[in-house]
Amino acid sequence: MPIDPNLEIYCPACQWEPDGGAHWVCDCGCVWNTFDTGGVCPQCRYRWRRTGCPSCTVWSLHVDWYHGLDEEVAELVEAALSAPSGVCCSLNES
């Protein structure tokens, strides 16, 4: 469940709403709910910029699935998505 009551998560193409199930598969074989991790595979840490809809099969930018984000949060997410894919924090960084 989203913390922000104004936040809704659904496919921008067909409006399918994720049910909390593990419907996404990473190239490494991990099966998980991409919305639990913001599009980052919990096994190999690959960041998926696009998310495929299990209902209509259309791929959309992951951030476009989030509806009702306030402007500041949307800007932060966009900045994170524009960071180089190879950038990762070490476990010792805070």
pLDDT of residue 2: 46
pLDDT of residue 11: 98
CA distance 20 to 41: 15
- Does some domain include residue 40? yes
In this predicted model, what pLDDT tens digit does every residue of 8-37 receive, in sequence order?
Answer: 999 999 999 999 999 999 999 999 999 999
Q: Which domain holds residue 59?
A: 20-81
- Does some domain include residue 11? no
- Does some domain include residue 71? yes
- Does some domain include residue 73? yes
Helix (H, G, I), strand (E, B) or coil at 31: strand
pLDDT of residue 69: 73
CA distance 82 to 94: 21
Q: How many domains does the chain have?
A: 1
- Does some domain include residue 31? yes
pLDDT of residue 71: 67
- Does some domain include residue 87? no
pLDDT of residue 82: 80
Mean pLDDT over all residues of the chain? 85
In this predicted model, what pLDDT tens digit does every residue of 72-86 receive, in sequence order?
Answer: 577 777 888 887 765
